[in-house]
Structure 1
């Protein structure tokens, strides 16, 4: 439900696809500040299709919706715009936040929004409304905290005490992000940043909580009374669009500040390179949930729409197919090449050509 999203990414289709195809129990939608989205939610509640949970969130059959908004912050202390995620517990609190945003943006009826306000003022407002404030895809070269937003530290822009979690983005994982000592105090989130139905659940986390509600999720981030993130699942960072440094002119891999092919100093710095610049850990690493690399089915060779449909018809959700269905059962439905692709994905042995410069990594067919 973003400006750049597929037309099929509507509220009803998101709810159905996330629950029935992807196997998600809780999903965040990031344009809930838009009045029309809130009105649609209230209409669905009025029709009996959903109800608000007393602990926050909107419950549909089989899935809970977290009410969120993605903001593009323009703060005089930023070197560049920074994307952040703000989640609020209820429709009423999101309406209040939306009204507050309306005085600081040009058109609140659009999804992802430019907002001209001090970042710490936004943080404080979210906290007063009992919401969650999470910097988004923090290492990507454009419109992120460490990509362009700050030179070295999040404290250049944000109040570190008003951050509830860190979203890693598709081109990094826990092992990469934990090299920054200042991130040691925050839980890491692996979210899809989906602009289409198929992109949902390419990254997610398993969360231990009593029920899928806003408050339980908040307490899990705080690790209260046994609640916690159990595991992060996400792309191998090599598959991300910005993992390696690429020449902006010829798209070749660059080692250094300029392209040896073009002889031009115009590169799109990769996440891996940026993290090396920021690496600061001097103390012992903290214990974190495992980060489990996964490969979405659509990345695998010979898995087109027809094969996807066949797999889902037989085995249910993508999560089940990617991680759980026995190989002998898969062999009854799809070719051995597809089965071997799933096996290699599970065991981390797929050969991958790293992505960069805005292009996803891909499976190396020559060595497949």
Structure 2
């Protein structure tokens, strides 16, 4: 068994033909650049492409397969030079009977599977070439379609008020999916404003595997959240075993953004234009209860929970809070280039390089900040209402 780093939520900005896919994502997010970034800078071993149902993206991937640059693995996934595995997925929007919306991601083992899924999906969306399309399907209906093509379905950024199942769609996954399908939802994606401790306030998630993924809209954001998994090989089949915690495969570590840095950690009053940090949970504005409030992830979880403190099952791995290098005070573009040139990848800098080595390359101030980030000792102003939190020295 080997340990691998895995980030299963990466968007495509444009295809090689110039077709826009994720309109809010960087144009530099094309398949080749994602692979290069993952291999050469980030050190991520398994990358999940969540816009792979776009026919134009499928063309780009097939071209790399035909050229021999990507090799289809027998147990699912596409391998690049035995250095990184691509897992193909599709993030989509579903709608409840009451008009509430949420994002879910279907992942598929083979290119042929997601191509067939794409052809079926075209009947339910306005533009099959674009990312995260509204399907007008319920969560349960989307599960059945994904499952029929050999895929698995994972709720994306579960707790965010912007299209999270708990944040915007309903109060319970069991109620949303029904008992039979609920048992086949093997994992949930926590999202940037949540961590395992927060999710473990909800009893119905006790048996679910938690994933921390980047939801990257630019190359720089790849790996801002990721997972360490124990697998025999980096394939779709092995990843699925890890999500099910079968045959010794499992997630052995979650590495995520310090939740306070997330855009939706605390509730936010849209009229006062301020983050509500005076109460737990903050479900309304203390100045005027009629003001419109965007519920924060922390506040929403506490609203749903009947627990005074979280309960983590024995299998739950450690959640390592981290601050991406680009968000650490003193780490600008030139400093980041120095670090990568000296030490290899961001994973190496964040996890392996000792303090003395850092001082030699970037000086005492930046080395101290990187070390404090590792130890969770940086001061942070919490985010809310779509505004990221900030690290302060």
Bin of the TM-score, shorter chain as denominator length: over 0.9
Task: Name the structure 2 match of 1:293.
Answer: 321
Q: Paired residue for 1:208? A: 230
Aligned-residue RMSD, C-alpha: 1.6
Q: How does 1:125-274 map to 2 (within 5 A)?
A: 125-150=145-170, 152-158=171-177, 159-254=181-276, 255=279, 256-260=282-286, 264-274=290-300
How far has the Cα of 1:284 moved from its partner?
Answer: 6.0
Offset of residue 156 of structure 1: 2.9
Change in Cα spacing, 1:284 to 1:219, as seen in structure 2 (3 Å) is: same
Are 2:309 and 1:309 aligned? no
Distance change >3 Å, CA 24–CA 285, structure 1 → 2: closer
Assess, with a 3 A threshold, how the Cα gap between structure 1 residues 336 and 217 changes in structure 2: closer, same or farther: same
The match for 2:75 is 55
Instruction: Measure how far apart 1:157 and its partner are.
Output: 2.1
Which is further off, 84-93 or 260-269? 260-269
Contact 1:82 1:145 in 2 (8 A): yes
Kept after mapping to 2: 8 A contact 1:294/1:345: yes
- 1:111 corresponds to which residue? 131
Q: Distance in 1 between matches of 2:90 and 2:290?
A: 38
C-alpha displacement of 1:85: 0.7
Moved more, 249-258 or 67-76: 249-258
Deviation at 1:249, TM superposition (A): 2.6
Q: Secondary structure at the match of 2:221?
A: coil
1:72 is matched with 93
Structure 2 unaligned segments of length 5 or more: list them. Answer: 1-11, 13-21
- Which stretch shifts more, 283-292 or 299-308? 283-292
**Is the contact made by 1:3 and 1:112 (CA closer than 8 Å) also made in structure 2?**
no
SS at match of 1:198: helix
Give 2:381's match in structure 1, choosing from 337, 350, 353. Answer: 353
Conserved? CA contact 1:83–1:144, under 8 Å: yes
Counterpart-to-counterpart distance in 2, 1:118 and 1:80: 10
Q: Deviations over 1:261-320 (max 9, x none)?
A: 577511111111000011135996411111011110011111110110111011011011
Aligned residues: 363
Runs of 4+ in 1 over 3 A off after TM superposition: 255-264, 280-285
Contact in 1 for aligned 2:267/2:283 (Cα 8 Å): no
Separation (CA, whole Å) in 2 of partners of 1:111 and 1:139: 20
Residue 301 (structure 2) aligns with: 275
Partner Cα distance (1:185, 1:277) in 2: 21
Hey, what's the Cα distance between the residues in 1 that align with 2:295 and 2:211?
A: 23
**Distance in 2 separating the partners of 1:362 and 1:109:** 35
The equivalent of 2:16 in structure 1 is none
CA separation in 1, counterparts of 2:196 and 2:115? 34
Q: CA deviation at 1:15?
A: 0.6
